[in-house]
Amino acid sequence: MRKKWMIMCVMMLFFLGVGGASASEVTKKNIYIGLHDKMLPFATGEAFIVNGQAVAPAEKLSRYLYMKQTGSPPKGDYTFEKGDQQLTFNLKTKAAFLNGKATTSAVTYMENGQLYIGIRWLVELFGFKVDYLSNHHTVRVYREAGAKLSNDQFLAANKSFFDRINSRPPTKGPIAYLTFDDGPSVHAASILKTLAAYKVKATFFYIEPNITKHASAAKQTAAEGHYLALHSVTHQVNPLYQSPQNFMNEMAKTNQTMKQVTGHSSVLVRAPFGSSPYLKQPFRDAMAKKGYRLWDWDIDSEDWRYSASSKARILQNIQAGIKQQKKRGDQHVVILLHEKKITADMLPQILQYLKKEGYQLQAYNPSAHIVQNFWKDARL
């Protein structure tokens, strides 16, 4: 096993060496990151191998490792702290000090003003181990005490993560994400039937009491490969937005119930009534700290406001919205719908229209996250 791993590493270094020698431009190879027994939610392209080193955005990686990262870009001095360990380095000289003692030179990479840090360099100094699982393009960071699984077990346990990455068809043209709020509900069956007929996936934002009330709808939606996400317990401004703690508790409870009922948990949140104006900075800090993502929408179908006699307006609103998005050149369009009968009734026409306009319809994919929130908060 160990020998096989070494051979793969040698092959990889050879490959990178050849690539690097022929051209001055950098060759980047995408990687994913696991911590102990779980995959971290890094999107495709966020972490990569460059110049033979696996690097990740310093701020995000340190957050998942519960490290405090500070830096002063003009001088180029950076610090990582965890427990009583302190690692400092200078970006220009690469000189690094662990608890004040000189140590191995820093491995860094800058792109678009963002600091990327050598994963192995950083975590080994803090006492973690690192395995590179080259077949899965995955760097696994762990401590003996924190990891219960062998590498093979780790890959098996995270199969759904890798399946999602591999099943994603090569993207041609723009993507539309249909999102259905406030379920699960009695209308799920009809919505699922249409989605299956058009062979497309969507995203469902659930309210906690509805998950237990319509457990079979939730299970069926998950089983058919749609993405389940979080939309609170109370769905009321009070108590939901009274404090970041309230908000986080409601999302955690929704996640817990969803996991119990469907076996799936979620990283994606839609704030009831949209994230603006209620989801101010302290709320978003709390979300970012826990690794949650936040989705609002590009197009509001306003399906919540219509009755059976005016349901054609849902399609008209989407058509108007799509025209705007095309003008803007937006390649990722998130559309707000609800689990309602009139929405279920209009869904075939909506899908026909979007397909005709060249859109691929996809469910939310945590490993290909796109930022879509009214605050333009890039952490979420």
Note the residues at the interface with Zn ion (CB under 5 A): 181-182, 272
Question: Euclidean distance between the first and final Cα of the chain, in Å?
Answer: 39
With a CB cutoff of 8 Å and minimum separation 6, the contacts of 27 are: 16, 19, 20, 50
Virtual torsion, Cα 327, 379, 156, 48, nearest 10 deg: 80
Minimum CB distance to Zn ion, residue 231 (Å)? 6
Q: Among residues 28 and 341, whose Cβ is nearest to Zn ion? A: 341
For the CB of residue 246, give the shortest distance to Zn ion in the complex, in Å. 17
Report the b/e string of 312-344 with b at 16+ CB within 10 A.
ebbbebbeebbeebeeeebebbbbbbbbbebbb
Closer to Zn ion by Cβ: residue 34 or 272: 272
By beta-carbon proximity to Zn ion, the closer residue of 64 and 273 is 273
| Residue in 110, 109, 106 with CA at minimum distance from that of residue 120 | 106
Nearer to Zn ion, 293 or 340 (CB): 340
To the nearest whole angstrom, how small is the minimum distance from the Cβ of residue 270 to Zn ion? 7
Q: Smallest distance from the beta carbon of 235 to Zn ion, in angstroms?
A: 6
Closest residue to Zn ion, based on beta-carbon distance: 181
- Toward Zn ion, which CB reaches closer, 182 or 298? 182
Preceding amide of 74 cis, omega within 30: no
Taking the complex as a whole, the smallest distance from the CB of residue 222 to Zn ion amounts, in Å, to: 19
Question: For the stretch 32-42, what's the b/e string if a residue is b when 16 or more beta carbons lie within 10 angstroms of its beta carbon?
Answer: bbbbbeebbbb
